[in-house]
Structure 1
Amino acid sequence: MKLFFKTKPKSTAAGLLTEFFGETQSWRETNDVLEPLVKLVRLIRPLKNKKQQTVDLQEIISFLKENYSCRKQLSIYLKEILKDRKFNKILSDAAILQDVDFIFEVKKRIFAKLLPYQPQKDTLEYVLNQVFYLANDGVWIDRIPLSQLEELYDLLKFKSIYESKLPNSVLSELLIAQHLIIQRISGRAMETDVIKMVPEFDDLESPFSAFEKELFLIEDRIINSAKHYITSDDLSYAQLLILKKQCEGFVEKAFHNSSKYGISLRVNQHLLKIRQQLERLTFLISLLVVDSEKDKRNNGIILALRLIKYNCYKNNVRKFVAESTQLLSYEITQHTAKTGEHYITESRKEYFKMFQGALGGGFIVGILCIVKVLLSKAETSFFGHAFLYSMNYAFGFIAIYLLGFTLATKQPAMTASALIKALEEGALQKGIGTAKYKAFAVFFARVFRSQFIAFVGNVVMAFPVSLLGIWLIDYFLNYNIAATKWETLLVDLSPIHSLAIFHAAIAGVFLFLSGIISGSVANRDKHNQVCFRIAEHPFLKRNFGKNKTLQLAKLYEKKWAGIISNFWFGIFMGSTASIGLFLGLNLDVRHITFGSGNLALALYGANYEVSNWMLFWGIFGIGLIGLVNFMVSFSLSLGLAFRSRAISLFELRFVTVSIWNHFKSKPLSFFFPTEKKANESQLEELKNS
């Protein structure tokens, strides 16, 4: 039995144009006036949006050349649906940040993607929403050859955008959009938080005010002149470009000063919006310049293409998030890079000092492991356990930080930024295979061995401290605190009997987040001048004296970001398991140092009667947990640092080759400080480059 399916024949441009604009002129009788245009664009739109794919309109152009009546009706139709359509809001608002509240803007854009905002039907935005409704429509229209667009423009006899200055005309809408943008810029640039970023302009006239005045003068000339445009050799136009550069300089200086004064997300959004509005003004002003008759036609075509693109990109979430967070991520990674430099050893003395610090960190973690087992016996709610565990971790991590000890897994998030800082400073910009690459490989070896010795110190100390602690409690109180819990402690370390790897990855994410918190707190305090405000606090100076108040301010500046970071890391570590229980999900965290302590507790709790296989998987699991902790936190931090500095991932190719070559020639240098003084001078050269 054969089944036959009738398929609808594929529409062609000629057939569609004949149907709507042929002798029957059916476009005049359609219920939806936009239906012919929607169908025509759907026919032109590529099915797959491949790169470098030219969108060819030659079939349509050839048909229109041969069919005068269709060409005439299409021209009438397009002019009819575009007549007196307002579009100044597209030029002044679309694809420009609308709200300085980051979260609100993200939510608004996501909601608009799901349920698009529909403007009034008499606006051009309504037409574009209905016709070019796909996000990638702004991409393929750029692939239409300009020569074909020019040919269509002439065939359909579109009028120049400079012919009329009447209300709702193209020129009128352009000038209204310029007015709106420049007035918004001038007001936003006068915000207190924005001005604070550029004290260099305190005694100077605002470049935005001068720019606004000059632009209004040019607009008056255009409106009152017969030709309604200016030429590129116009002196007023040259002056306007100079003032525009000064405005751009103001914004760039404010962004540059963020390293000196810090920057908040709100101020970042203010500056980002001003920059976007200046870019939009640059485009609009360029449309006022005409040097030949060809420019009149091309400016009209360019305006049409930009209107489509702006409307398509107005709800783009990815680009908005990327632009909004790049500078902040840069400032955060700058802080973590400075902190990370302290975690990188060079000499043998620094190497063993790191080992001593790691031993101290392991000592405190060993105590925390015992305290957590004791807290687990408290009869309380999920929230109660989450609170108790979180406080145990938080105060333990803060103690490690304040005493100058080292928690190994906190290093990767810091040292990743330090590595990228070396790239940014030009270590890899002077050719392939040069001494710079070799010096950087030596630098990476220093980072790696610093991580290695910190892991060793933590694990070596946490195990005996936990074992000694549980023995002392059992000896004096005759109570083995792990007698009923040892099996759980051991199974949780095994990568084949539990989700240890997944839980270690969660811990890696939290390690990364703690680094972000540290950098963001330091950046926020710098922007709000917290240190200066403490140093100059009248009550503190009067009661403690100027010197002690200054010492307090410096101590706050040096330690507070780290304290907050460690506190939140403790909250993350302590509350994850309880949140998982509450939600019915298998969530928990695994950390290499705590794994070492828990192994000791499990062995004692089982009275050392553990199978060889379980012991093997426990020890192997500790190493695997440490590797996952390191890889997740380091890769996330590395990705953030790369993005914040706009460094191409292509650089990694040369870096990886140089590091691998260095490892083959000197593998021990990745674990012990074996470099000679000649290499140390290379590192110094890298540091100063």
Structure 2
Amino acid sequence: MPLFKVKNKPSLQELLTDFFDRSQLWLEEKDNLEPLIELVQLIRPLKIRNLQIVDLEPLITLLKDNPSYRDAFSFYLKDILEDRKFNKIFSDAAILQDVDFVFEVRKRIIAKFLPYQPEKETLEYVLNQVFYLANDGVWIDKIPLHQLHELYDLFGFTSMYESVTLNSALSEVLTAMHLITQRISGRAMETDVIKMVPEFDGLESPFSAFEKELFLIEDQIKNLEKHYVDSDDLSFAQLIVLLKQCEEFVEKAFRNSSKYGISLRVNQNLLKIKQQLERLKFLISLLKVEKEEDKKINGILMGLQLIKFNCYKNNVRQFIAESIQLISYEITQHTAKTGEKYITENRNEYFKMFWNASGGGIIVGFLCIIKILLSKVDTSIFGHAFLYSMNYALGFIAIYLMGYTLATKQPAMTASALIKALEEGMSKQGNNTQKYNAFAILFARVFRSQFIAFIGNVILAFPVSLLGIWLIDYSLGYNIASSKWQTLLSDLSPVHSLAIFHAAIAGLFLFLSGIISGSVANRDKHNQVYFRIAEHPLLKKSFGKKRTLKFSALYEKKWAGIVSNFWFGVFMGSTSALGLFFGLNLDIRHITFASGNLALALYGANYQVSDTMLFWGIFGIGVIGLVNFMVSFTLSLGLAFRSRAIPLSELRFISSSIWSHFKSRPFSFFFPMEQKVKTEVIENYLQTKKDTSH
């Protein structure tokens, strides 16, 4: 005998018979929402994906054929909906409630598992009980509108414009509009928001003007016999114009983020205003009636939106996407500008990249030796983590300030530059195939730039490390790698260690360092740090105006990169210690350091290394470099796609074009082979690069 008895779903006929026959069983239910909950449960589709339509024809036919059921069900619906307040659904649901990003995310996640329950007298309570699944708003949208019209008529619902008394539908709409308008007016006047739109200084706030006009419309609707406005009403037309001006205010503030930067708090404020304006736009549309049929249409649309807003109020994914899109856009804009200098256009730039990468390889060679020496210091695990972190961080900062190149730092930057060029090409009219082909040519330039940078790093890191360990042994008579050569060598092998996984971790850190660079630059721009330094009275008095201005310009140009390289060094140096602390096999593998470590391992073993281990060590360097590049580039590409709202479906066409170009001109991915092709994507990139250099 089964422990639990599975209750079979009743049919529509059985459900209506159980609750709405002549005995009116629903009146005896303590919780009289049960009939509606069960009805929706019957209608709710099991699978939403690829769903084309939710057909209510069986229900409509059943109600038409059984007038007694229809009348009882109509009475039931009107009884449970009567005098239910719902203004808070319109004013609050699916609108950002708190500008604290972390608090809002945490609140929504908790609400998904333990939903907030309003008072039982509200419509929100009814919707929470009946449409309790987050995707209910999706399938509700799949119900044909003409079927909803039929149900509206069958149930004999009255128009929402019949009354504006307290708790009536129209009264709740007006109350919601009033609440939203007052909230917007206050938030739009905050200092950080106004600072984003200096163009509106000295002008009357469009939000204040909108609020005044809305009050006039409300009075007109409440006091006139017909409780709606015509399409040719001048006050209504003025209200629409003012709403448009409010939207332009917000859009201008978002656009100005490229000039002034933007903080997450300001972004959340603007996002909330934007959501509230979108909500007002819908509510205002409910006030207008052109023909008698509009009264029914507006009532149905209002009901649908109430359900959808209530379903989406705890949506975490959409909230995060909307919140970080502009911030990530500004970050990738910075990394795109930085990445443009890493894309070689001709032979001169190609070989210049090689020499810059060679300089980076020399410094990394010294860093490899210093790390071996630091490993011999008698200290704790976290003491070593600190020493390794400072070794990496100071070395990376030195590479950056001296104008040298660390190859793996490029993908996070060049990915954004590629997407920026693609975005600008897509924004213009033209042949899409040509644009994708042009993007493939540009990608080939990126790849060969990365390739020659790898070569420059690896070729110099190896001999410098070898020379350094030999000099120490020659002068001090001490082979510093004699006890570690086996570990150094096996760590490079993708079959004898987790080298691929550790290389992926390094790729993640490379991506994060690019994010940090863009974030710092955006933050300093928003806080006007450069201008504040340039106009600092004490600095101007102490060092003079010219030197202070030069320092400000140097700070603007270099500081974000310094911070980024510092944290990249900390990430690289502390990963192994964190792995030991948590009992996990965590470490990093970086192609340039792998080259230096191979040299140290060979010397430490006195060159007595098996051919197999040597092969896997050399092969491992290539694999590590490829994984470093792929992880960093892929993550950066994904962020750039999301920040520019370019659909990921574009990747299919881009990948196809890149593969076709590789098959036709494979050597262009490794060596500069000049192209005569002049297309919008390349021209946009070259023009941007030219403008940036000036």
Are 1:14 and 2:13 counterparts? yes
Are 1:401 and 2:400 counterparts? yes
Aligned residue number for residue 522 of structure 2: 523
Pick which of 648-657 and 277-286 moved more.
Answer: 648-657
Aligned residue number for residue 373 of structure 1: 372
Aligned residue number for residue 591 of structure 2: 592
2:395 and 2:5 map into 1 onto residues whose CA distance is 74
Aligned residue number for residue 673 of structure 1: 672
Amino acid at match of 1:569: F
Shift of 1:509: 0.6
Are 1:285 and 2:307 counterparts? no
After the TM superposition, which residues 1-150 of structure 1 pair with which residues of structure 2 at under 5 Å, given as runs? 9-150=8-149
Aligned residue number for residue 357 of structure 2: 358
1:271 and 1:394 map into 2 onto residues whose CA distance is 37
Q: Deviations over 1:405-446 (max 9, x none)?
A: 100000011011111111111168554476555543332222
Pick which of 473-482 and 530-539 moved more.
Answer: 473-482
Q: Deviations over 1:183-238 (max 9, x none)?
A: 01111110101101111100211011111100110001101111111111111111
Aligned residue number for residue 177 of structure 1: 176
Task: Tell me the SS of whatever aligns to 2:141.
Answer: helix
Q: Deviations over 1:591-632 (max 9, x none)?
A: 000101111111111111111111111111110000000000
Distance change >3 Å, CA 519–CA 8, structure 1 → 2: closer
Amino acid at match of 2:15: L
Pick which of 603-612 and 192-201 moved more.
Answer: 603-612
Distance change >3 Å, CA 294–CA 408, structure 1 → 2: same
Shift of 1:473: 1.4
TM-score by length of 2: 0.96
After the TM superposition, which residues 505-544 of structure 1 pair with which residues of structure 2 at under 5 Å, given as runs? 505-544=504-543
Distance change >3 Å, CA 66–CA 659, structure 1 → 2: closer
Amino acid at match of 1:547: K
Distance change >3 Å, CA 681–CA 293, structure 1 → 2: closer
Aligned residue number for residue 692 of structure 2: none
Shift of 1:659: 3.2
Pick which of 598-607 and 419-428 moved more.
Answer: 419-428
Distance change >3 Å, CA 273–CA 338, structure 1 → 2: same
Question: Are the equivalent residues in 2 in contact too, given 1:427–1:440 (CA < 8 A)?
Answer: no
Aligned residue number for residue 471 of structure 2: 472
Question: Are the equivalent residues in 2 in contact too, given 1:428–1:436 (CA < 8 A)?
Answer: no
Aligned residues: 687
Shift of 1:667: 2.5
Shift of 1:651: 3.3
Question: Are the equivalent residues in 2 in contact too, given 1:592–1:625 (CA < 8 A)?
Answer: yes
Q: Deviations over 1:506-544 (max 9, x none)?
A: 110110010011011111111111100000000000010
Aligned residue number for residue 276 of structure 1: 275
Shift of 1:49: 1.0
Distance change >3 Å, CA 681–CA 586, structure 1 → 2: closer
Amino acid at match of 2:218: E
Task: Tell me the SS of whatever aligns to 2:158.
Answer: coil
Aligned residue number for residue 416 of structure 1: 415
After the TM superposition, which residues 485-564 of structure 1 pair with which residues of structure 2 at under 5 Å, given as runs? 485-564=484-563
Are 1:617 and 2:611 counterparts? no
Distance change >3 Å, CA 511–CA 16, structure 1 → 2: same
Are 1:262 and 2:281 counterparts? no
Question: Are the equivalent residues in 2 in contact too, given 1:436–1:686 (CA < 8 A)?
Answer: no
Question: Are the equivalent residues in 2 in contact too, given 1:161–1:170 (CA < 8 A)?
Answer: yes
Aligned residue number for residue 161 of structure 1: 160
Question: Are the equivalent residues in 2 in contact too, given 1:430–1:436 (CA < 8 A)?
Answer: no
Aligned residue number for residue 454 of structure 2: 455
1:183 and 1:113 map into 2 onto residues whose CA distance is 29
Amino acid at match of 1:94: A
Shift of 1:167: 1.3
2:76 and 2:21 map into 1 onto residues whose CA distance is 12
Amino acid at match of 1:623: G
Aligned residue number for residue 575 of structure 1: 574
1:300 and 1:433 map into 2 onto residues whose CA distance is 44
Distance change >3 Å, CA 687–CA 557, structure 1 → 2: same
Task: Tell me the SS of whatever aligns to 1:143.
Answer: coil
Aligned residue number for residue 297 of structure 2: 298
Distance change >3 Å, CA 678–CA 321, structure 1 → 2: closer
Amino acid at match of 1:445: A
1:114 and 1:591 map into 2 onto residues whose CA distance is 42
Distance change >3 Å, CA 491–CA 428, structure 1 → 2: farther
Aligned residue number for residue 691 of structure 2: none
Question: Are the equivalent residues in 1 in contact too, given 2:435–2:680 (CA < 8 A)?
Answer: no
Question: Are the equivalent residues in 2 in contact too, given 1:331–1:519 (CA < 8 A)?
Answer: yes
